[in-house]
Chain A
Amino acid sequence: AQSVTQLGSHVSVSEGALVLLRCNYSSSVPPYLFWYVQYPNQGLQLLLKYTSAATLVKGINGFEAEFKKSETSFHLTKPSAHMSDAAEYFCAVRGGGGADGLTFGKGTHLIIQP
């Protein structure tokens, strides 16, 4: 069965600093992995996805993630944080909660300090 663990319910970084949000997955099949961002009172917006092509995936707003099979990880990074990055971030794996729906982690709240 598929599952996702996000380490750290809250992460605080200074504006301009590196953002690192951690995600580890468990999957019985080659995983399809996703990162979504959620701003207050809004739905989920896709940041990037891994679908078994390149292991380094580039997404929107300067975010990227690297798929590491040996570590079962898919951590999200951004070189320089911006105030507008403050939001809730969810890592998800396809399958597990249904035939091919997404199984989400509990989310990480990213706080940007001025």
Chain B
Amino acid sequence: EAGVAQSPRYKIIEKRQSVAFWCNPISGHATLYWYQQILGQGPKLLIQFQNNGVVDDSQLPKDRFSAERLKGVDSTLKIQPAKLEDSAVYLCASSLDAGYYGYTFGSGTRLTVV
């Protein structure tokens, strides 16, 4: 089966600019997650979708971050305006069964804010 697809792979922007990341989960996976991985740290969950509804976004900085999952398939994560501390790898993951038997991760988007 095809994996979790993410694009772009790399992005460099200036602070205060906006940026968007795209994720296409494994077909049939109802649950989708976005994680932020800062260099030298473990990934941190930002937001979780079940189909096209938000299950949890308690760790999403809502003043600048937004995410949507239209039609319960693809998802987009946006940052506006970006700050230097947003430099990180943004990982998308999906799960068939809310994680009981595992999660599949994409390769991530590496964002550098200068």
Contacts and interface: CB of A to CB of B under 8 A. Distances in A.
A102 B48 contact: no
A97 B44 CA distance: 7
Nearest to B92: A43
A97 to B, nearest CB: 4
Contacts of B59: 97-98
Interface residues of A, number: 25
B101 A100 contact: no
Interface residues of B, number: 30
B72 interface: no
A102 B91 contact: no
A22 interface: no
A107 B41 contact: yes
Interface of A: 32, 34, 36, 41-46, 49, 51, 90, 92, 94, 97-107
6 closest pairs, A vs B, by CB? A104-B42, A98-B56, A97-B45, A101-B45, A44-B105, A43-B105
